[in-house]
Chain A
Amino acid sequence: MKANDVILQTVTKVVSFIILSFAAYLFFAGHHDPGGGFIGGLVTASALVLLFLAFDIRTISNGIPINYRLLVGIGLAVSTVTAVGRSYDSRFSHTFEYVDFPLFGEIELATSVLFELGVVLTVVGGTLTIILSISEDV
């Protein structure tokens, strides 16, 4: 007998977006409030894990065709490049600048956000690589 997952799947469709937007909030809040790349990445991964639980691996893998092992590499590359990118003036350092945007007003743009983006990608890739490779039948 096939179990009926209608309620779980319907709730997941809504909730996963809430979780993902919370993850985005945490990621951008990290500079001034609690949050940052690591927790943002974990929350993103938890949204994806919820999708994998409510549906099945093949459906979600077709819907979100990401190779999570490569995602780890991309994340590491992003973080490394933000560090090396500033080496031209002999400081391996982060910098920031205040930029006026037409709609949002003055916003602080910092290169540490790019570094954290690399952390997010690495954490998501690492977590899902672990979970998906454990779940696979050998």
Chain B
Amino acid sequence: MTNIIILLLIIPLITGLVLIFFRKHLRLQRWTSLISLIINGIVAVVVIQHVHNQGTQTLNLGGWEPPFGIVIVADMLAMLLVLATIIVAITCLLYAFKTIGEERERFYFYTFFHFMLVGVMGSFLTGDLFNLFVFFEVMLLSSYVLISLGGGKRQLRESIKYVLVNIVSSMFFLVAIGYLYGITGTLNFAHMSMRIAEAGQDGLITTVAIFLMLVFALKAALLMYFWLPGPYGAPPMAISALFAALLTKVGSYAIFRMFSLVFYHQEGMTHQILAWLGIITMILGAIGAVAHWSLRKILAYNVVVAVGFMVAGFAIFTTTSMAGSVFYIVHDMLVKALLFILGGIMIGLTGTDKLREMSGMIRNHAALGWMFFIAALALAGVPPLSGFMGKLLVLHEAIGEGFYVIAAVGLITSLMVLYSVVKIFINGFWGENQLSVEDEKMSTKGALLPCAILTVLVIGMGVGAEFVSPYIMQAAEVMSNPSLYIDAVMQITE
């Protein structure tokens, strides 16, 4: 049974490499990609049910016992993110069918799409620090290709920035792994956590923890988000949506994992820093979102705000606040993909991303307009929708635990985020219709399907919070109680 976990990584890997051989057969590539993702989604649901009933599942690769071999760990946090990844991937794929263009499809677009998913899901599932680094690189190398694929002038310029920043942060990551291995003598998360718990987290380990925090903050655009708005605006929107929904979340996940499982002994130090990083990120991201009049820029800065909120929620470090963060990260993956795809359709229709040059689109595209409205409300956290529960839990805990700054900033930035997306809605959909159907640069036929799927999920996750919350609580349970994870990995039985 536990072998099924590896299918989550094997299926996209095999799909990606099989598609290398069929690069001219576009129809075959599309169908294979879609079917493999759907199968993978079914596998993920099965594994989630299994984890829900039986607790954390582990798989020792090669049959080696945990500290010696690499272990794949499917706990609820990882599995929820994997499922959200697959859903986002399916919708971005459906959108890419319509918009990505034959030129890119011929040059291994789907191969790199699947390889990136291997990297993302591998990062979620691995239980080994160096393996995490390798999966990060799998994800990043594919994302370098996806960002520059097509070779437009702007894409090339932005990809140089993106590659430079990520190579530097990967090198820091490697150095941090070196330090940590020198101190603890192990790379396995669970074993490392045990070693640190035995010896105590002294100043040196805390220093390395902050160094790792810097690395993941660069990847997750936490405070160090200077690289993000440019590259996320350069590639086609199908790729931008995938990036916005997945890449920064992998960095946030790594922060969640490392600071709940391994470095949880010096809360006053590390988690305080995380909280402030989150607060400053929220403020600066929200300022960026409010300031810009370009659709791509506004959406990119909203990615930054969400990362700040998730990390600040995590840094409060109670079970409920972490549940709120987990709820928010899953919601944010879905809603960011939705917003970017809708934004992509708007840009596709008008041929510009400047808000001042678009208006009145609701006359011809009512469905698009109302879906954007729902997405905007969900992003800000209006009650029946999915963004509400996460924010509520985090703000409740923030006030209960005395983190008043987080609560205040969280509420104010929610308002600013709402203003920034409603600005898009008002400018894009209200007013005089400047664009007749004949002038439009693309047809929305088929492109609305992925939006509809995501909208239903965003509403469903909000309305059905009662149904989702047992899973979220289980994820938070493992995060707040590291011994559950360690016992499952090291197979310690009473």
Residues of A bordering B, CB below 8 Å: 69-70, 72-73, 76-77, 80, 84, 87, 90-94
With beta carbons under 8 angstroms apart, the residue of B17, B61, B63 that contacts A76 is: B17
Instruction: A69 to B61: give the CA distance in the assembly, Å.
Output: 29
Residue of A nearest to B23 (CB): A69
Verify B6–A73 contact, CB threshold 8 A: no
Judge whether B62 is part of the interface by a CB distance below 8 angstroms.
yes
User: At the interface, is chain A mostly helix, strand, loop or mixed?
Assistant: helix
| Inter-chain CB contacts under 8 Å: number | 33
Task: Say whether B62 contacts A77, CB under 8 Å.
Answer: no
B20 and A69: CB pair below 8 A?
Answer: yes
B18 neighbours in A (Cβ, 8 Å): 73, 77
A73 to B61, CA, bound (A): 23
Chain A minimum-CB-distance residue to B70: A92
Residues in chain B within 8 A of chain A (CB atoms)? 2-3, 6, 10, 13-14, 17-18, 20-21, 61-63
Q: Is the CB of A90 within 8 A of B20?
A: no
**In the complex, chain A residues whose CB is within 8 Å of the CB of B3:** 87, 90
Contacts of A90 in B (CB 8 A): 2-3
Provide the residues of chain B in CB contact with A76, threshold 8 Å.
17, 20
Whether A77 contacts B10 in the complex (CB less than 8 A), given A93-B63, A94-B62, comes out as no
CA distance A91 to B3 in the complex (A): 8
Q: Is the beta-carbon distance between A92 and B62 smaller than 8 angstroms?
A: yes
Inter-chain contacts of A77 with B (CB < 8 A):
14, 17-18
Chain B residues with CB below 8 A from A84, complex form: 10, 14
The smallest C-beta distance from B295 to any residue of chain A, in angstroms, reads: 34
In the complex, are the beta carbons of B17 and A80 less than 8 A apart? yes
Complex Cα gap A75–B3 (Å):
24
Residues of B within 8 A of A93 (CB): 61-63
- Residue pairs across A and B with Cβ atoms less than 8 A apart, 15 shown, are A70-B20, A70-B21, A73-B17, A73-B18, A73-B21, A77-B18, A80-B10, A80-B14, A84-B14, A87-B3, A87-B6, A91-B62, A91-B63, A92-B6, A93-B63
In the complex, chain B residues whose CB is within 8 Å of the CB of A70: 20-21
Residue in chain A with minimal CB distance to B111: A73
Cα–Cα distance between A80 and B6 once the two chains are bound (Å): 12
Query: Nearest chain-B residue to A91 (Cβ)?
Result: B63
Nearest A residue to B6 via CB reads A92
Contact A80 B13 (CB under 8 A): yes
Q: Is the CB of B63 within 8 A of A73?
A: no
- Separation in Å of the B255 CB from the closest CB of chain A? 29
Residues of A within 8 Å of B6, CB to CB, are: 87, 92
| In the bound complex, CA of A93 to CA of B61 (Å) | 7
Residues on A with beta carbons closer than 8 Å to the beta carbon of B63: 91-93
Bound-state Cα–Cα, A77 to B100, Å: 27
CA A76 to CA B21, docked complex, whole Å: 12
Give the complex CA separation of A91 and B59 in angstroms. 9
B144 to chain A, nearest CB (A): 14
* Nearest Cβ on chain A to B419's Cβ, whole angstroms: 47
Alpha-carbon distance A66/B62, docked complex (angstroms):
34
Taking CB atoms, residues of chain B closer than 8 Å to A87 are 3, 6
Q: How far is the CA of A61 from the CA of B461 in the complex (A)?
A: 57
A90 to B5, CA, bound (A): 11
Expressed in whole angstroms, the minimum distance between the Cβ of B103 and any Cβ of chain A is 15
A92 touches B61 (CB 8 A): yes
Chain A positions within 8 Å of B61 at CB level: 92-93
Chain A: minimal CB distance from B29 (Å)? 13
Which of A69, A70, A76, A94 has the largest number of chain B CB atoms within 10 A?
A76
